[in-house]
Amino acid sequence: MFCKNCGKEIDEHAYVCPYCGVLVATPVPTVSNVPKKVNGLGIAGFVVSLISLGLGYFFVIASIVGLVLSIVGVCLRKKYTSCNGLAVAGLVIGIISTLIWTIVWIAVGATLALIF
Ligand SMILES: [Zn+2]
């Protein structure tokens, strides 16, 4: 190749021109230039599931909401490049939370039915 500054022929792999000292290497294109697409549904599902795990007794609906958000997040994970792991984690926590609080509420219902 030829130096863009002085026009002398230089080595193909040269980083700087040996004649004039100007930088001749073409910058290597950065691979991680693609903007990250964050899986917001996955994050929301994870957070709601986590909250519902602790507060499911008061907000049973939160377990189901967290579960649904996580399922959608997992289903759409191919569209996103970031936070997909959270969607999967939210799905697992959502299932556990829903199961726990469903069992609790069935137990509560059965106990009440026995009493009255
Ligand atoms: Zn040069």
pLDDT digits over 32-86, tens only? 566 788 999 889 989 988 888 887 666 677 888 888 999 998 898 888 888 888 8
Confidence check: pLDDT of 26 > 90 = no
Question: CA angle at residue 93 from 43 to 109, to 5 degrees?
Answer: 125
- Give the contacts of 104 (CB within 8 A, at least 6 positions apart): 56, 57
Q: What's the confidence (pLDDT) of residue 101? A: 85
pTM of the model: 0.60
Given pLDDT bands bounded at 50, 70 and 90, which one contains residue 19?
A: very high
Per-chain residues with Cβ under 5 A from ion ligand 1 = 3, 5-6, 17, 19-20
Say what the pLDDT of residue 92 is.
92
Structure tokens at 94: 């959502």
Ligand 1 centre distance from Cα of residue 27 (Å): 17
pLDDT of residue 32: 58
